Amino acid sequence: MSLADDLFINMCKDIIDNGYSTEGEKVRPKWEDGTYAYTIKRFGVVNRYDLSKEFPAITLRKTYVKSAIDELLWIWQKKSNNVHDLKSHIWDSWADENGSIGKAYGYQLGVKHKYKEGMMDQVDRLIYDLKNNPYSRRMLTNIYVHQDLSEMNLYPCAYSMTFNVTGDRLNAILNQRSQDVLAANNWNVVQYAVLVHMLAQVTGFKPGELVHVIADAHIYDRHIPIVKELITRPTHPAPKFYMNPDVKDFYDFTLDDFRIEDYETGPQIKNIPIAI
């Protein structure tokens, strides 16, 4: 069993056994047939992943790691808000006729701000501090910008990162306001694990811990039987993660620089219903 499997199973069991049901509450999401999408939820879930020990992809089912990395590069490296810059179609339903999702996600990371060292966007400021002031306690990014929320086609779910160097290790906290556990949990975990690996390599550190803080971790009502079956499956050792060691500039990474090896998983779950 990978450590990520263990964390995922325990989180799901806790939500199912001890969570709060929103059935009958005034909720926003609906299923495609128009019925309200209720959840079982836990508030304030915290999972810690030690990236020095393993790459945190669950093996209960396959996480499409390369597609997750592509989305990560779209947001953090390309700083794009246009789905035409993304290989997958996961954002298509949120895009307008031109492909834009508004002033959301990558757009916010690309906005330049004035610092005493000069004009920089959030990503460049982070890399600057990791190289020049790595033991700062002020290294964070935030894309939940209130004055722009009305121009976002989707409010950010994973909205803030806080980085901290301890010795020669780069650690990070990912803050997420809301998460559909079945559809998105491990997708986000592997994305931000890769981000820590990338930033560590280009700034001279080793990857440390990724701490994932979820304010509202929920399992939708129609997902509960799927999750119950999923967490009873056999598990396998964590896969091996390869990242091109020759890349020293954050903006030089391409999708071809990443590889997942020895990734043995349970059968994929197809056609997961998504509440909108």
At 276 the pLDDT is 86
Q: Average pLDDT of 88-94? A: 90
* 22 in any annotated domain: yes
Instruction: Assess whether pLDDT exceeds 80 at residue 217.
Output: yes
Is residue 273, in this structure, part of any structural domain at all? no
- 198: CATH: 3.30.572.10
Contacts of 196 (CB under 8 A, 6+ apart): 51, 170, 171, 172, 207, 208, 210
| Residue with token string 């929320």 | 149
Q: What whole-number distance in Å separates Cα of residue 235 and Cα of residue 14? A: 19
Q: Is position 52 annotated in a ligand binding site?
A: no
Residue 221 has pLDDT above 90, yes or no: yes
Q: Check whether 49 is labelled as a binding-site residue.
A: no
- For the cut 90, the answer to whether the pLDDT of residue 1 exceeds it is no
- Residues annotated as catalytic (active site), given as ranges: 157
Is 245 part of any domain?
yes
> What total of structural domains would you count in the chain?
1
The pLDDT of residue 158: 97
- Local confidence band at 86 (pLDDT 50, 70, 90 cut-offs): very high
Average pLDDT over residues 45-70: 97
- The CA angle 105-208-266, to the nearest 5 degrees, is 75
Q: What is the mean pLDDT of residues 233-237?
A: 97
Mean pLDDT of the chain: 97
Tell whether residue 231 is among the known ligand binding residues: no
Whether residue 178 is annotated as binding a ligand: the answer is yes
% of the chain surpassing 90 pLDDT: 96
Question: Residue 16: inside a domain, yes or no?
Answer: yes
Domain that holds residue 227: 3-63+120-144+154-261
138 among annotated binding-site residues: yes
Angle, helix 181-203 to helix 65-72, in steps of 10 degrees: 60
Query: Is residue 81 domain-resident?
Result: no
pLDDT at 143: 98
The confidence band for 261, taking pLDDT boundaries of 50, 70 and 90, is very high
pLDDT (tens digit per residue) in 8-23: 999 999 999 999 999 9
Residue 270 has pLDDT above 80, yes or no: yes
CA-CA distances (angstroms) from residue 37 to 93, 158, 223, 249?
A: 18, 21, 10, 43
Task: Answer yes or no: is 270 within a domain.
Answer: no
3-state secondary structure of 222: helix
